[in-house]
Amino acid sequence: MDGILHSIGLPEISPLWKEHLASAMLYDPAAPLQIPSAFMLASLLLFLLVHGILHRRRAARNLFTALFSLYLYNKLAGAYVLLLLFIAVSDFLIARAIGGSSLHEADDSGHHAPGNDETKTSTASEHADRQARRNRLLLALSVAVNVSILVFFKANGVFADFVGALSNGNLTLRHIAVPAGISFFCFQSISYVADAYHGKISPLRRFSDYLFLLAFFPKMFLGPLVRNSDFIAQMQRGDITVTKEDCGEATRLIVSGLLKFCILSKLMGQMFVTPAFAGALGEDGFTALMAVYAFTFQLYCDFSGYTNLASGISLLIGYRLPLNFRLPYHSATITEFWRRWHITLSSWLRDYLYIPLGGSRRGTVRTYLNLLLTMLLGGLWHGVGIMFVLWGLWHGVLLCLHKLWMRIVPEAAPTGSGLPLWRRAIGVAVTFNAVAFGWLMFRSPDWSTFTQMLHSIFCNFTPETVTPVLAANTPAFSALAAAVLLHALPSSALPRLDRLCTSVRLPGQAFLIALAIWLALQCRAIFFSAATSALPIYANF
């Protein structure tokens, strides 16, 4: 028997396999969680198995999902998981306090004690005023805590550079890494407390349920931001049912997400955009212009690809995340663009910032100021720096100009709908280039890089460089062409793809997903070094 086994050549198992397994399960600063990776795939398969066993037990299911989400965040960010827990505990207690005071107020107003009716009415009114002031202070506390955390991490690098410049390099402060996805779970937590304050939701009673809402792993790193009322309703179902149509749609989302995020985005970014913005590919105008356009599609593939992955995985376990992208570069106006790009952030900024500032209810000038301030803060949400400020102001100015245009031309539509084909084509071209100009600001690390890229585009553009640049960067330009074609697919194609993925049933769906994972891993192994980050661009925001 030993001879037979020896002739088969079974692989040898290292005697240190237990140590290797334990180290793989712990956070390693030199090798944080990667997407995709064999570890991530094995973890998801194990999660799906346990979640399927618990699908009828709501409390246990939510607790398990919350703990698994925390574990993945620990694998990605290490000790920063404690920051996530702090935000969760803080806002869970604040929302409970707001909800509790509302219940006490309702109880007091319904209590009929003997005495003068006028006195009772006055006392109840004073009590309601005290509770309202208390709730406003609690909401302000939640906002202050979350915004302070964001400012501390986002502005740390700027502050450190400022101190170093003032001291001529004699005093240096260490740059603190920004926790992955911190903006998303801070915004989600603020919206939860605000919704409890406005009575849109009842605060959750179990801390594990709130941890599930805040840290649900598919959306934790990059969103999409969910409406609390919608997601809480899904969380509180007694049983989870996943239909065959859900599996088909999930397959399409996961496969397309892997294609866009793991292959097209990485090829464009690592092989062309990054070296072009660093000046490593020369300063000719064609290279600079194509770098801007390539980044425009790289960012879309990166973010929408990850969103597809998150939505697909969520569907497999019975949760539907909101739509976050709807072919944004088909937009004929800047207003339409912001209804198609990062839809959940646009909705968040509108509901929790623009409308509370007064929206369009306080006159034309105030409306424009509110738009500018909202987009400026939206820029700062991505990072504290002059280029993010300029990007936010650029989009604020564009939105104000579009509003002004609609006032001057009453028949102009916010989304360009109903326009003749030739006018819509012009609108799409103008909007796309205006957005791409904004992405140049967004991608440039400093003003010098921004102005250098503009100088190359407008002053160094020579037709002779087109063919050599295309030939020298074939993989990147092939990925760009594929991204453009993929984005050109009409929305009507998606239901047909969903039906196709549904028709192949579970074996075919598993094969398609496995093939997409294999292609993503092969692309990473062939084109990129082991040190290349497999995390999305937006994980830094």
Catalytic residue positions, numbered: 382
DSSP 144-167: HHHHHHHHHHHSHHHHHHHHHHHT
Integer Cα distance of 462 and 472 in angstroms: 16
8 Å CB contact between 252 and 501: yes
Integer Cα distance of 296 and 290 in angstroms: 10
Peptide bond into 463 cis (omega under 30): no
Angle of helix 58-77 versus helix 207-215 axis, rounded to 10: 50
- If DSSP states are collapsed to H, E and C, what string results for 291-333? HHHHHHHHHHHHHHHHHHHHHHHHHHCCCCCCCCCCCHHHCCC
Q: What CA–CA distances, in Å, run from 523 to 36, 214, 249, 526?
A: 11, 33, 25, 5
Tell me the CB-side half-sphere exposure of residue 416, using CA atoms within 13 A: 24
Compute how many other C-beta atoms are within 10 angstroms of the C-beta atom of residue 55. Answer: 17
Integer Cα distance of 59 and 209 in angstroms: 8
Tell me the CB-side half-sphere exposure of residue 511, using CA atoms within 13 A: 7
Nearest alpha-carbon partner for 234 in 116, 62, 403:
62
Q: Which residues contact 379 (CB under 8 A, 6 or more apart)?
A: 388, 389, 390, 391, 392, 393, 395
Q: Which run of H or E residues covers position 195?
A: helix 182-197
Q: In angstroms, what is the C-alpha Rg of the chain?
A: 26
Integer Cα distance of 349 and 430 in angstroms: 25
8 Å CB contact between 80 and 184: no
- Identify the burial level of 310 via C-beta atoms within 10 angstroms of its C-beta, where 0-12 means exposed, 13-18 middle and 19 or more buried: buried
Residues in the chain: 541
Integer Cα distance of 421 and 328 in angstroms: 18
DSSP 258-291: HIIIIIIHHHHIIIIIHHHHTTTT-S-HHHHHHH
Integer Cα distance of 455 and 444 in angstroms: 14
